[in-house]
Every structure is written in C-alpha cells, then in structure tokens.
Amino acid sequence: MSGSLTRRQFLGAAGGAAAGAALGVPAATATEFPAIHIRQGSRNVAVASANGLRGVERAGQLLAQGIDTLDAGIEGVKIQELDPEDTSVGYGGLPNEHGMVQLDASCMHGPTRRAGAVGALEGIKTPSVVAKYVLLYTDHIMLVGEGAKKFALSYGFKEEELLTERAREIWLRWRANRGPDDDWINVSEGEEMTVRPTGTININVVNTRGEISSVTTTSGLAWKIPGRVGDSPMIGAGQYTDNDIGAAGSTGRGEANIKVCGAFLTVEFMRQGMSPTDAALATLRRVVQTTEPRLLNERGEPTFGLNFYAVNKAGDFGAASIHSGAQYAVWDGRQASHRDTAYLYESRR
C-alpha cells in the first residue's frame, strides 16, 4: 500500500467500520490536468440512489465520528445488501434465469487511489466488503465467479443461500410466463406479474478533509443470462473516484452506462468545471447519443432508465436521470432526505 495507509490500519476492527480513523492521509495535491478550482475546505456529504436513504444516514453518522470515507460508504450499502426485502441488492436479490443469485460490486478509495471489484459472486451476502478486500489484499482490481467466491471464503466470509422465498416466488412466476408455447403452466389471469426489474445501490462520500470514496453493489438485472456482469463492478462505469475532483456512480441499464464509461465521464465533466448535477446531465446526453435505435422510442428518447449521482471535493452534490420522477438520497451534513433528480425528458405514462 502507498502512503501512510497499511492493510492493518485500513481493516482495523473485524467489521472494518473504524478502519479509516487511523489513516492520517495528507490532503491531495493539485492535479497536473485541467481541473476546477476547489474552494478551501469541504463538508461531510453522502449521496446515493433512492434506496440509499438509510445508507447515507449511516455513512453521515460515521463520517462525523472520523471514520474513513470508504468504510462509511460500505457500511451504508451493507444495509441494503443484508436486507431481504430489497430484491435488487445482496441477500434477497432476484436471480438469473436459472434461479441463481449472482452479485456484483466495486469500490474506490480516493486518498490511496486504489480500487477493488467482484463480479458474478455467488453465496456471499456482502460483495461490497469482498470488493474492499480485493482492494486491500491483492495487486488486482477485479475477481469474478468461482475465483471471487474462493477468495472471499479464504478471508472468513460465510457461504449462505441468497435466494429468499420471496425472490424465489417472483422468479417462478416469471419462469412460468416466459412464452405461451413453452412447457411451463402460465400464471393465472389476473395474477400480477413483476416487470423485469433492475436495481442497484451506489453511494459517493466526501468528508471535511476532502477525502472521497465511492461504492456500488447490485444483484444485477433480474433473469439475466448466467455470468452476465453489468456496470456496477466496472471501475469508471458503476462508480469512479478522483480524490482531486469528486466521485460519481450509477443505477439503471448497465449496458448503456458501460459504453460511455459514465461514472468516469461524470467526474471528468466536473473536472472541466461543471456542477455535479450538470455533469450528470451531460453524461446522460452522451448516453442518448450512443444508444442504438432499437432502444429509442418514436421521439428519439431511450426506453430504459439510467441515473447518475455525484459529489465533488467541496461537498457539492447532485443527481440526474433520463426521465422525470426519479429521486436520490443525500446526507447533507445535517440530515438524510430524498430529493428529485434533474432529468432530460418528461415522463409520459
């Protein structure tokens, strides 16, 4: 590890929540690249996807205690990873088409400029923590599939069944209604069918010293082809941190985000002087430009959803979505609340 941060210091207690208190990382020097002029000083801020309201509150509380930004962010997303009622993240997440839950996650620690990620991880409830262990203990950035699972087990993670009864019922309902000519009996008329869900949680965190981190975790697209990995574990897509500038992350259609390296691009727009909200909107415009015609409606608008969340080194924050009606969660240093995202197009229902 570079600088004053060691693996022992970073991990701290077994849960890792108190790890960052011993960092003592010096303030980042000015970047050699064109960059925005950041006012002196920052504030404790955590910004997340809408399902991260409890997460940003937890992260904000930890920041106030002096906990490292990455540890604060991971403790925030773990709330959703361990919540069986959140069918888009961790335990209770909806499975792939074969009924297997496969999880993805990634994280970046701004002060040390390090990153870690896991993809298609099975049997481990908290992939965000495994991603942090990849960051801490390896010279790699991403581990996937069986290798990621063996790595987690070698560090004492417990293998558990992630498919809850609720998620199983939703999957069985989907499987029974795939087509009129298959060998499965359709769900009876009038019984509600679940549309193909997407979902993720992203949290971006900055503290009063201007230290920044980001983390994204998901169970991915429901009913996906086994082995499919979306944007969440992709550094520069699902999340990205530059400690000189800020952090950004995403939820929504991963394939659309991967093509533009959306989290990285949002941070680069902030580097050019844009506010977090304007940077997120600019990235979404790039997404629209790169969207193939089959995914556009007659007005030229994407038929899918995609959202970006961002914070800069000064503690300014914002979020944007393709369509109106979306929200995000933020801890502004005083309280956690939901706010409306900026957007490109009015929703038409």
Predicted pLDDT of residue 131 = 98
Predicted pLDDT of residue 176 = 86
186 part of a folded domain: no
Q: Which of 169-183, 188-202, 333-347 has the lowest mean pLDDT?
A: 188-202
Predicted pLDDT of residue 39 = 52
Query: Is the pLDDT score of 74 beyond 80?
Result: yes
Known active-site residue 208: no
Predicted pLDDT of residue 4 = 38
3-state secondary structure of 116: strand
Predicted pLDDT of residue 199 = 74
Query: Is the pLDDT score of 23 beyond 90?
Result: no
Instruction: List, edge to edge, every strand of the sheet that includes 201-206.
Output: 142-144, 114-121, 103-109, 212-218, 201-206, 45-49, 327-331, 336-340
Mean pLDDT of the chain: 88
34 pLDDT band, cuts 50/70/90, is: low
What's the domain range around 198? 47-112+161-178+194-345
Query: For the domain that residue 101 is a member of, what is the CATH number?
Result: 3.60.20.30
349 pLDDT band, cuts 50/70/90, is: low
139 part of a folded domain: no
258 part of a folded domain: yes
The region that residue 258 occupies, defined by phi over 0 for left and psi between -120 and 50 for alpha, beta otherwise, is alpha
Angle at 86 between CA 84 and CA 87, to 5 degrees: 95
Predicted pLDDT of residue 348 = 81
Two tokens, residue 231:
């944007």
Token pair 């980042």 is at which residue? Answer: 28
13 part of a folded domain: no
Q: What distance in Å separates the CA atoms of residue 186 and residue 277, rounded to the nearest whole number? A: 45
Mean pLDDT throughout 178-193? 51
The letter for the amino acid at 332 is D
178 pLDDT band, cuts 50/70/90, is: confident
| pLDDT per position as a tens digit, 38-59 | 455 789 999 999 999 999 999 9
Query: Is the pLDDT score of 196 beyond 60?
Result: no
- Comparing 194 with 73, the larger pLDDT belongs to 73
Handedness of CA 89, 94, 96, 98 (dihedral sign): positive
Query: Which residues are paired to 299 by β-bridges?
Result: none
Q: Long-range CB contacts (< 8 A, 24+ apart) of 34-41?
A: 34/271, 34/272, 35/244, 35/245, 35/271, 36/245, 36/270, 36/271, 36/272, 36/273, 36/312, 38/210, 38/312, 38/313, 38/314, 39/314, 41/208, 41/210, 41/314
228 part of a folded domain: yes
Predicted pLDDT of residue 198 = 60
Task: Choose among 163, 203, 168: nearest CA to 328.
Answer: 203
Q: What distance in Å separates the CA atoms of residue 275 and residue 263, rounded to the nearest whole number? A: 14
Mean pLDDT throughout 234-238? 98
pTM above 0.75, yes or no: yes
Predicted pLDDT of residue 25 = 37
Predicted pLDDT of residue 19 = 40
Query: Is the pLDDT score of 22 beyond 70?
Result: no
Distances (CA, A) of 73 to 8, 166, 294: 19, 27, 37
Query: Is the pLDDT score of 75 beyond 70?
Result: yes
CA 157 from chain center: how many Å? Answer: 21
Total tally of structural domains belonging to the chain: 1
Burial 87-112 (b: 16+ CB within 10 A, else e): bbbbbbbbbbeeeebbbbbbbbbbbb
Give me the catalytic one of 69, 87, 198, 200. Answer: 200
Query: Is the pLDDT score of 109 beyond 50?
Result: yes
Terminal Cα distance for the chain, rounded: 51
35 part of a folded domain: no
Cα within 13 Å of Cα(94), Cβ side: 23
Predicted pLDDT of residue 29 = 44
133 part of a folded domain: no
299 part of a folded domain: yes
| pLDDT per position as a tens digit, 270-289 | 999 999 999 999 999 999 99
Query: Is the pLDDT score of 27 beyond 50?
Result: no
Other Cβ atoms within 10 Å of 195 Cβ, number: 8
